[in-house]
Homo-oligomer: A and B are copies of this chain.
Amino acid sequence: MSVGFHHGFSHSFPLRVYYEDTDAAGMVYHANYLKFAERGRSEMLRSMGFPHRQLAATDGVGFAVRRCLVEYLLPARLEDALVVDTTLVDVGAATLSLGQRIRRGEELLADLAVLVACVGRDGRPRRLPSALRAALTSEAPHAP
């Protein structure tokens, strides 16, 4: 249905490394992989028809990162063409658990496990909007 969103809930988002992303060690600054991952999550939601601005306008909710584990395997460098693969691991009442991989072609550079919470304008936990939940669960792989 949605562009860039595949069976088994994996979404891929390409990006380019610019000077702003690098540091004096000549590679991508470690915190910036979290920015790349967040772009991937935002584009996954957009590809499903739920950009952040719409979720805020229609449901009054957004997402806040609760927990993030990053393993850095290989450095990315200036002008590398990277891909952020995002896989849905679990859908809770008010949370999403995601696996994300940042790669350069077939080389895995960083591996992330991210837990995000659905929150209201006051920052408190809120149930996932039902339309989003339906979209997330309907696209899941079917039992045979």
Contacts and interface: CB of A to CB of B under 8 A. Distances in A.
Interface stretch (A73-81, A87-95, A101-109, A125-133): A73-81
Pairs A-B, 4 closest by C-beta atoms? A22-B24, A31-B34, A30-B65, A20-B35
Interface residues of A, number: 39
Main secondary structure of the interface of A (DSSP, over half): mixed
Contact of A123 (B32, B34, B75): B75
A64 B72 contact: yes
A67 interface: yes
A23 interface: yes
A39 B23 CA distance: 14
B25 A23 contact: no
A105 to B, nearest CB: 16
A67 B113 CA distance: 12
Contact of A26 (B24, B29, B32, B70): B24
